[in-house]
């Protein structure tokens, strides 16, 4: 059981760190009543943070149960997307670059 957080590769590092933290919290708040979230919180509550291109970000919108984060300091740009924790993920997620 894990939560994926996708951060656009164009986002500067400082904003990317903030976006990741905010995305985790935003996804928890949006999906906290989902049974998967309770299971995820029972541990370990893994998160996978990936650095994605604009094209990968747009394709990920098709995956259900996500929240998109914007950054006012970057003109309201969409900077990150977080998904409800789950066991099964689309195959394409396995090929996303981990944020390192």
Confidence tier at 100 by pLDDT (50, 70, 90): confident
| pTM of the predicted protein model | 0.96
> How many domains does the chain divide into?
1
CATH of the domain at 48: 3.40.1490.10
Residues 24-79: pLDDT tens digits? 999 999 999 999 999 999 988 899 999 999 999 999 999 999 999 999 999 999 99
CA separation for the pair 89, 99 (Å, rounded): 18
CA distance 26 to 30: 6
pLDDT confidence tier of residue 22, bands split at 50, 70 and 90: very high
Give me the domain span that covers residue 15: 2-98
Look at residue 44 in the predicted model and tell me its pLDDT: 86
SS3 (DSSP) at 32: coil
């Amino acid at each position: 059981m894990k939560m994926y957080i996708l951060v656009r590769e164009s986002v500067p590092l400082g904003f990317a760190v903030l976006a990741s933290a905010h995305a985790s919290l935003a996804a928890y708040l949006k999906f906290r009543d989902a049974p998967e979230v309770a299971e995820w919180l029972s541990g370990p509550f893994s998160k996978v943070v990936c650095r994605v291109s604009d094209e990968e970000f747009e394709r990920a919108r098709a995956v259900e149960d996500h929240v998109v984060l914007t950054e006012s300091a970057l003109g309201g740009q969409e900077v990150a997307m977080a998904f409800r924790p789950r066991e099964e993920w689309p195959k394409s997620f396995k090929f996303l670059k981990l944020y390192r």
